[in-house]
Structure 1
C-alpha cells in the first residue's frame, strides 16, 4: 500500500506541489498524469524516498522498487546479472538470485539466448524488460514506474504494457505509473489521477474501464476519458488545440 497525506514539494525554492492526498491499494495500478513539468516525476521520486517532502507524509507498506524511463543497467554485467542486482544487494546467494532473475526475464518475454548478453547487445525493449525484472525480483509491495515505455515503438509498447499489467496482478502490487500517454493509461491503469494548477494539486481520481483487447476499443476508451470534465485541460490538450495552425496548414 502507498499513501500520500497532504504532501507538498519544493523544487529550486519554489512550491510545485501542495496538498496531495492519494492512496494506491495493493493490486491497483494508479496512473499519474498532467502537463510536462508539473511535478509528476518529483512526486514519484518522493514516493521512492529520493526527494524529501516539504510538508505532509508518504507512507509505504512493504518494500518499494522503481523503474525509470532509462533502464540504467550496468554495462559490464549480463542481462541476467543486471536483473539479479537487487537480490545480490539483499544477500541472496548467486545460484538462487540467478534462477529467480532468469524466471522473471522469461516471464517478461526475454529469450534464453539473450540472458547472458550485455546491455550494448540488447535492443531498447530488451533492456527495459531487464529493468522491470530487476524491480520485480526483490519482491516489492509497491512498484513505481516513471514512463518506462516512452522510448519504445507502439507495438512493443503495447506488448510490454500487457506483460506489466499481468505481472502486477499476479503479485498484487500497489503500482504508481507516471505517463504522458493516454493510451497507456487506458491499457494499464485502474484509475487516473491528474495534477493541475500552480502549485499543482490533484484532481479527484477517475476510474478507468478496462476496454476489450482491440485497438478500436482502446481508442474509444481514450476518447471517453478525454471527454470527462477537466481532463483535456489538465493534460494541456485544449491549449494545443487553440494554437494557430502553421501557415499553409489551415
Structure 2
C-alpha cells in the first residue's frame, strides 16, 4: 500500500474515533470500564517505550548542531519540555474542573463557555500535533506507524469521555468536530511541508508529557474505581508487543 494512502487511512481512523466514540455505550465511567484502563496502560507503554526513547535519540542527533543559546540548552534537556507539557495539561484540567464545580453550584453541570473554548483549543493543538507526527515521525515501518495509531486511538477514546463529562453537550456539538478536523489539519500540514528535527523533537516531548498527564487524570481519581489489573495488562501486553516487534 502506498505510504501516503496508509497515512490518510490512519488519519481518517482517528477522525472516526472522535466522531463515534460517544456511541461506545459499553464503556462505563464509574466504576471505570476495564477496557478504558487497558487503553490507559497501552498509551503509557507507548510513551515510555517509544516516545521517550525518541527524545534520547533526538538529543544525540542535535548535539552541537544548534545556534541559539536557548536551543543549545534545550537540546540537552528535552525532558524539560515533556515536563512542561504535563504541567500545561494539568493546569488546563484544574481550570476546567474548578469552572465546572462553580457552575454546579449554580445548577449547571458543565464548565463555563470561555473555559470550554480554552480547554478544547488546547486539545485541538494536541490533536493537530498527533496528526502531524502520524506523517512526520521517523517510523521504521508501517508497523511502527500502526502501533502509534493504536496507542493514540485508544487514548483519544479515553480523552473523549473525559472532555464529554466536563463539557456535556458543548463537547458533542462543537468539541469533537474541532478535534476531528485538527487531526486532518495536522495530517495535511505534515503531508505538504516538513519542519526541522528541532521542532519535531520539541513537539514529541510536549506530546509525551501531555499523554502521561491525560492518562493519569483519568486513572488516578478514587471515584473512577479504575482497575489496576486491567491497566497493568494493557501496559505489559503492549510493552511486550513493542519490544518484540
Structure 1 length as normaliser, TM-score? Answer: 0.28
| Higher relative helix content | 2
Larger relative contact order (Cα-Cα within 8 Å, sequence gap ≥ 6): 2
Structure 2 length as normaliser, TM-score? Answer: 0.29
Specify the structure having the higher radius of gyration (Cα): 1
